[in-house]
Amino acid sequence: MFDTVLVANRGEIAVRVIRTLRALGVRSVAVFSDADADARHVREADTAVRIGPAPAAESYLSTERILQAAARAEAVHPGYGFLAENTSFARACAEAGLVFIGPPADAISLMGDKIRAKETVRAAGVPVVPGSSGSGLTDDQLADAAREIGMPVLLKPSAGGGGKGMRLVRDASVLADEIAAARREARASFGDDTLLVERWIDRPRHIEIQVLADGHGNVVHLGERECSLQRRHQKIIEEAPSVLLDDATRAAMGEAAVQAARSCGYRGAGTVEFIVPGGDPSSYYFMEMNTRLQVEHPVTELITGLDLVEWQLRVAAGERLPFAQKDITLTGHAIEARVCAEDPARGFLPSGGTVLRLDEPQGDGIRTDSGLSEGTEVGSLYDPMLSKVIAYGPDRETALRKLRAALARTVTLGVQTNAGFLRRLLAHPAVVAGELDTGLVEREVDTLVVTDVPEEVYEAAAAVRLDALRPRGEGWTDPFSVPSGWRLGGVPKPVGFPLRVFDPVEFVPRGTHTVTEDQVSITLDGVRHTFHRAADWLGRDGDAWHVRDHDPVAESLTRGAHAGADSLTAPMPGTVTVVKVAVGDEVTAGQSLLVVEAMKMEHVISAPHAGTVAELDVTPGTTVAMDQVLAVITPTESPSQAPAESPAESPAEEEQ
């Protein structure tokens, strides 16, 4: 076993790897960018090394800087994302005399190319999804292949995974635009815009098999994970085992995964992903192989009793697997939910801010893997996933119930998250029944997102404001500052408070309340409601609300002199990556004008109405805050007659 291992990653995966290193008595070396100088993984490691400025390209993606930091270690664990599936990085580690805790570079290269991967596993007898063959297809050749396969089709970057650049196309008339967009995203994410096209299987299920291989020819599978609950091709809920598979299908898919691993000379932990028609689980197709640890690996750990990070380390150190396939047993059921910095009520736009209060459940069948601590700054530079909440029980019903309860107890005030949305999703009748497919979330999203602010939220916020105005201590009190509702020459008027969550509201509290430093309890119409609180944030059952005082004059000044229907504002904090217009240009309603990127999500900002670009306040590379004015469009027609802005989004890589 190694004495010291460098963890070439950040956030919850770095904390997770460090935990196993500590348990094995192995020293850990963390790396950090300037943005992560006080991050949890930095504080938990034995040693931490600064590797550069905040942008990932100058820090976490810099092979040179990471290898310099790794001079203090014998091996490098890449986690997932960043350099985990980078062939040149794996080779650079070997050339530097470091052990790369992952598969051989040749295996990464082969399986990282989806076209070669499909050809290789097909030759090994593994069924694959019908689609284009060969690489280097032109746009016209891709479009022809798509029409030959038949709509709908899925465009996929050959060099990457996790949903980045993936496009579902149902209408052949938009193929050219979708191919161009997919190439742009693939080039920006992977430095390679090669695409392939595959047949889209309606209402498919996404099932993956965990494999583990040593350097002595032994390969086993550790059962499957159901990953069908996705949004924009990104997994949000994973569970093991799948309710879809019977023992025979599980064994057949497991053997196919083992053969796929053998076909590329695999070593370490990896995942073979399959797409499975829900109506015929015996007709499964290979999609791709992820040559690294997966975000969802904890559910496999809980049902097998194996620490996958530990076995990554042992295999990389040259040890043999001491168990055969017949020794692997799956016990109980585990389900994981990914908590991300995003705002479901604002179309799942990325969020950010400072974690003001944090409460993450642990124990009694609940495990939370997290990179957070109170005071953590969540910015727009890195992946939006903050933590993972995992529940284990003897059966699926128990695991579901425990996970819903754990998400209700999860508190992350100061940063908007999707925890409440996930809790409602896990209570959806189709999810409870195990009737899953990759399109379920998108079909049901409107029933799972709460956009109306409950009255009790405003009641609690007003109670906080009222409590702050009450006189405290002894001595003289200014009578005009007491919230008594007193009026000169009239009857007392109830005290109201101008508040804003989404839209401004003038709210007059009418219930009774108790306010403490970290909690607000109010009784409204005979019902008691209790909220967590931190500064202007209130939280309950996984949901959170940022309730601010509403001052129309101050907000007008903040948004700028042109704030209003003619203005285009940033829907979230991020970076402007594309500017397609200049001052003086004539634009049409719905025309794409700007692209803002945050947390690896690309957002298109469109013209709210036809008009002229009167003001343009940003250029490519400009960092913007939420609601910052980007441009002003002087209308040539009434804005009320034109379609409203509807930013489009494209999926980002799911794992860092």
Q: What's the rounded mean pLDDT across residues 21-49? A: 98
519, 549, 579: which is the final residue of a domain? 549
Ranges 65-69, 186-190, 196-200, 474-478: which has the least confidence:
474-478
Q: pLDDT digit string (tens) for 381-419?
A: 899 999 999 999 999 999 999 999 999 999 999 999 999
Q: Do 243 and 193 share a structural domain? A: no
Q: Which residue has the higher pLDDT, 74 or 502?
A: 74
Q: Do 628 and 545 share a structural domain? A: no
Q: What are phi and psi of 540, to 5 degrees?
A: -160, 130
The pLDDT, as a whole number, for residue 656 is 43
Q: Which domain holds residue 76?
A: 4-101
Per the CB < 8 A criterion, the answer to whether 181 and 174 are in contact is no
Q: Do 230 and 174 share a structural domain? A: no
Which CATH number covers residue 570?
2.40.50.100
Task: Assess if residue 556 is contained within a domain.
Answer: no
Neighbours of 523 (CB within 10 A): 14
Q: Do 80 and 185 share a structural domain? A: no
Binning the chain into helix, strand and coil, the percentages to the nearest 5 are 30, 30, 40
Q: Which residue from 461, 399, 467, 400 is spatially nearest to 427, judged by alpha carbons?
A: 400
Which CATH number covers residue 349?
3.30.470.20
Q: Do 601 and 511 share a structural domain? A: no
The pLDDT, as a whole number, for residue 489 is 63
Task: Assess if residue 227 is contained within a domain.
Answer: yes
Classify 24 as helix, strand or coil. Answer: helix
The pLDDT, as a whole number, for residue 503 is 86
446, 480, 515: which is the final residue of a domain? 446
Q: Do 619 and 572 share a structural domain? A: yes
164, 199, 234: which is the final residue of a domain? 199
Q: Do 95 and 218 share a structural domain? A: no
Task: Assess if residue 477 is contained within a domain.
Answer: no
Q: Do 632 and 575 share a structural domain? A: yes
Q: What percent of the chain has pLDDT over 70?
A: 91
Confidence of residue 162 (pLDDT cuts 50, 70, 90): low
**pLDDT at residue 59 above 90?**
yes
Task: Assess if residue 530 is contained within a domain.
Answer: yes
The pLDDT, as a whole number, for residue 603 is 84
Classify 196 as helix, strand or coil. Answer: strand
Virtual CA dihedral for 177, 179, 185, 187, nearest 10 degrees?
-130
**pLDDT at residue 565 above 80?**
no
Predicted TM-score of the model (pTM): 0.85
Q: Do 32 and 70 share a structural domain? A: yes
Q: What's the rounded mean pLDDT across residues 169-195? A: 91
**pLDDT at residue 186 above 50?**
yes
Which CATH number covers residue 8?
3.40.50.20
In angstroms, the CA 649 to CA 652 distance is 9
In angstroms, the CA 655 to CA 374 distance is 23
Q: Do 96 and 135 share a structural domain? A: no
Q: pLDDT digit string (tens) for 499-546?
A: 989 888 989 889 999 999 999 999 999 999 999 999 999 999 999 999
**pLDDT at residue 641 above 70?**
no
Q: Do 282 and 259 share a structural domain? A: yes
**pLDDT at residue 481 above 80?**
no
Q: Do 500 and 406 share a structural domain? A: no
Task: Assess if residue 478 is contained within a domain.
Answer: no
Q: Which residue from 78, 24, 98 is spatially nearest to 311, judged by alpha carbons?
A: 24
In angstroms, the CA 4 to CA 72 distance is 8
**pLDDT at residue 1 above 80?**
yes
Per the CB < 8 A criterion, the answer to whether 438 and 430 are in contact is no
Task: Assess if residue 656 is contained within a domain.
Answer: no
In angstroms, the CA 85 to CA 88 distance is 9
Q: How many CA atoms within 13 Å lie on the side-chain side of 200?
A: 21
Confidence of residue 551 (pLDDT cuts 50, 70, 90): confident
Confidence of residue 52 (pLDDT cuts 50, 70, 90): very high
Task: Assess if residue 228 is contained within a domain.
Answer: yes
Domain count, the chain: 5
**pLDDT at residue 644 above 60?**
no
Which CATH number covers residue 153?
3.30.1490.20
